[in-house]
Amino acid sequence: MFVVLIESYGKAGIVQEAVKIFQKMNELGVERSVKSYDTLFKVILRRGRYMMAKRFFNKMLSEGIEPTRHTYNIMLWGFFLSLRLETAMRFYEDMKTRGISPDVVTYNTMINGYYRFRKMEEAEKLFVEMKGKNIAPTVISYTTMIKGYVSVDRVDDGLRLLEEMKSFGIKPNAHTYSSLLPGLCNAGKMTEAKEILKEMVGVHLAPKDNSIFISLLSSQCKAGDLRAAEDVLKAMIRLSIPTEAGHYGVLIENFCEAEEYDRAVKLLDKLIEKEIILRPRNTLEMGSGAYNSMIQYLCGHGQTGKAEIFFRQLMKKIMARRGVPRDADAYKLLIESYLRKGEPADAKTALDAMIEEGHVPDSSVFRSVMESLFEDGRVQTASRVMKSMVEKGVKENIDLVAKILEALLMRGHVEEALGRIELLMHSGCHVNFDDLLSFLSEKGKTIAALKLLDFALERDFNVDFKSYDKVLDALLAAGKTLNAYSILCKIMEKGGVTDWSSCEDLIKSLNQEGNTKQADILSRMIKGGEKSRENNKGKKQSSFAV
């Protein structure tokens, strides 16, 4: 349990709480083990607390707990993460002094550490030593070595290791290829780069860093192999890598320079047809060399219509990038265009831009975007649109709000749903708690129903007595007796009904589960005949219904 708690606080980035939990073990008489120490080391080293890790390591030794190979592997990883080379080397020697033999993880960690300090001779020695001890290198071992060779401009050695690993039946992964390709481009080894890319497409392995492709395109063009450059774009499509205007731009510019205008026009046709220039997520823009050459060629060869379409798309993108203001109608048309094409996320982006520009969209625009997002399963995004709508004081056509609230609660986004309800109530929109509570109870979402009811009781919002019963029945049926007891007490405190038909069943269940104190309190409250307060007194109500 303590290991899980320490680990969880670590993943959440709350190091001090993880340390407190670890120290609490002694106070509670829970014996620390090497496992609990290893968990703590990983948490604090991930955050760069190498000095703290050293102190706890010494404390572990003073308590007579012997470190394992796994302990040392964690420590070495952490020291290299904090760029403490000498400390890592001391611990590595200490590990061997204690008679603990390095395993493949240890070697991989040390090799990776040496690579980060560009000490490839030391990394090579360990790589050879590992193989000499019959410890088979893994794909991680080879990839790290390849990455290291590339970092010190020894790309030929990287290629040699790639062939070696394949000869031993070790398949390269995406990281292996991603490590090697930039080095091949920098070294001008474009034939080898072309073969590597072909190999990747063959096994459908996409690199983790998409910036490699712009480097490949530029390098192949620089080498004068425009066909190979065009194959890079085809490879991107086959590997499902998003192509951007900048990728097409490199090819178009180089085809124009080579006076291969027909090929440039074919690429331009794809660019215009798919409206790649207008994609809001583009990070690579087309350079002026590409579009100036292309527009000049089109106008000079009687294709002014195509040149105009291309020019208009460029202007729209430039306006968006430079923040040139558009009127409300232009935004509305853009939103409608995205919705017709089934792109609700882009429609939402355009809606946000419209609001940022100072325009207030009408209710039909809000509704269209919300509905499209909701139908596409993007409930939380639809919820954010709903929030913007309410904040802007738009209250017409909001019948979707109830559905969005239901979906948020059903999917476990309870806090978000409660926040939206709070906003709606403060904006003069009455939320039908009874319908929501009934829906959640019927669907067995008892915790969501419990939190919603508690929220309503805390704020004295209007809830029907029958809704109390439905939630209580659902909780009891789900075996959540303490939850049922807790909310029933709160209902009574707030002046709600006390004649719930299943009270006796709840008391019986509490007793059976050993919760006799709660059962006794509830029994006395009922038998004492506490008068129910009028539930409607002082309730906050509003005239606008969802």
* H helix runs in 47-154, sequence order: 50-62, 69-81, 85-97, 104-116, 120-132, 139-151
Question: Among 88-92, 161-165, 334-338, 480-484, where is mean pLDDT lowest?
Answer: 334-338
DSSP state string for 398-459: -THHHHHHHHHHHTT-HHHHHHHHHHHHHTTEE--HHHHHHHHHHTT-HHHHHHHHHHHHHT
pLDDT at 305 over 90: no
pLDDT at 269 over 70: yes
User: Domain coordinates of the chain in residue numbers?
Assistant: 325-431, 448-546
3-state helix, strand, coil in the chain (%, to 5): 70, 0, 30
Per the model's pLDDT, the better-predicted residue between 432 and 54 turns out to be: 54
CB 144 within 8 Å of CB 108: yes
Mean pLDDT value of segment 33-40: 94
Query: How many angstroms separate the CA atoms of 181 and 192, rounded?
Result: 9
Query: How many angstroms separate the CA atoms of 142 and 164, rounded?
Result: 9
pLDDT for res 540:
44
Query: What's the pLDDT band for 410 if we cut at 50, 70, 90?
Result: very high
pLDDT at 259 over 90: yes
Mean pLDDT value of segment 87-97: 96
Query: What's the pLDDT band for 375 if we cut at 50, 70, 90?
Result: very high
Residue-level length of the chain: 546
Superfamily name and number for 325-431? Tetratricopeptide repeat domain (1.25.40.10)
CB 351 within 8 Å of CB 365: yes
Can you tell me which residue has the tokens 């774009």? 233
Query: How many angstroms separate the CA atoms of 516 and 524, rounded?
Result: 12
- CB hemisphere CA count around 19 (13 angstroms): 12
CB 256 within 8 Å of CB 297: yes
pLDDT for res 353:
79
Q: Residue 284 has what DSSP assignment?
A: S
CB 412 within 8 Å of CB 447: no
pLDDT for res 530:
47
Hey, is 544 helix, strand or coil? strand
pLDDT for res 320:
65
Mean pLDDT value of segment 386-390: 91
Q: Tell whether pTM > 0.75.
A: no
Query: How many angstroms separate the CA atoms of 428 and 544, rounded?
Result: 6
pLDDT at 131 over 90: yes
pLDDT for res 325:
52
Of all residues in the chain, the percent with pLDDT exceeding 90 is 54
CB 22 within 8 Å of CB 6: yes
pLDDT for res 67:
96
Burial 132-169 (b: 16+ CB within 10 A, else e): eeebebeebbbbbbbbbbbbbebbebbbebbeebeeee
